[in-house]
Structure 1
């Protein structure tokens, strides 16, 4: 294992491709971040602009690695949407146009002349928590990434479960509200549509327009962060939105817990930053209404330990393990 003070350090670069933020970092095998870059995603400009951002960040970090006498052994990319892990191709993005069928692994490998590993951000985040965070020592884990969208990852007997098309764990696209709001995937009532950061903001705006509940939230633009901050201050409308969100999450996650029987449920992504008294604690309590009671015995429900850096450390973890724990 490489230590930070070694004269000739070996490391990887992790790239977290989020729908609102791009993060890239030089990471050693023990999880030490040696340099990091973080920029807003140029989502409105499409995939081409986003790729140019990624390429520029990688060039900057490779230059920094040279300054620090660090040898970069590979690149790991965690993408906010479904990917084909085996071919290294992005299947699509529900939030940024132009990514469909983009051969990310091939393009980056050709450009930088080193191994590249691509996976969805939830699988990457789960792997990061397994190597460096809350899941260390656990073999059966359900990781749920709640941000602009909702993704999930399943670790069973210490290995990522992928499914036929690398879609195992896509909990954001199970239906929890029949006839509910339209999701980015095209279906209606998905967990992502009602409990993601985007869904929370849309629900708040819907209630603001109805004008039936008291609120200090603005009428023009609201984020999920605004909603949770207002709920902490006792805002009636915000508290209703948070209450609905917790109920939807308990519904979807309760089903998953009954099916998978994990020893730990980890909440990652932007919503893991929400006050525990508003999200994690009531979620833990309401899971009893949806999950098989025996499956809840001994279950630990925690926020991602890696918090804001979970995505980029998870992406780095993809390159660190080099796929060895993910292939049968």
Structure 2
């Protein structure tokens, strides 16, 4: 297991190196940072002097190595618009996005698992038919349309939930959270449900199909033949093996969910990383843009590496095949 873990960590570092290279290439080729910093009123001569002082005239690989050294210490540059380190801006916006993804993940987990298991055990039940039909509709509707429809019905028509913003937040050891206030939770409900609508139908169908396949295996039939209780066979033996592919897909889909926060946060004016990303594009803030790409890429790589390690613990055959 130690060799398997080290191998996955080395692979994660290699992927992060590629992400950093692509991100720095975008920064190096997109826009003129000197122009964005000083505007058009500064003379060309002064711009060249400033460019030389900042090392922008150095060869590409020299600048990239310097960028890696700074990134290793948490320095991803200074935002042109905010006039502060890009990581400080990202860390200030990250709590909003993390809480949104966390709430959406809880909805997906606590809805898809019981719904998928029930649909697998009772495929002809009316609830199973409605669930599977609804999952097809859910996959077909884009998240921004779901968000707009929710705002129309639950904010404008019924006036149950607020339509934009994070609401009241509490500073908890530097983490501005809305999970500890009623107003913050009310503002979180609709964005979290809209974001979960992307993955919820997929996981319901995945759990149902995997559970039905496991229930047809030989060891499940043997368990029935031994006289074990149906509840134990279904919810212990069958469900454990159903989770193996779900864990793998879940790690990948979490990264996709982070990407989809751009659309969700834009509709609900949720002040997180996705909304910040669009602002950095509009303002040509390349430093902040690249810092966002690297930060989200790091989260994606860390989560998937962690999922791989967990999968190796749950399924020892993965470790054996890895050594071979």
Which TM-score tier does this pair reach, normalised by the shorter chain?
Answer: under 0.3
TM-score, structure 1 normalization? 0.24
Query: Higher strand fraction: Structure 1 or Structure 2?
Result: 1
TM-score, structure 2 normalization? 0.25
Larger Rg: 2
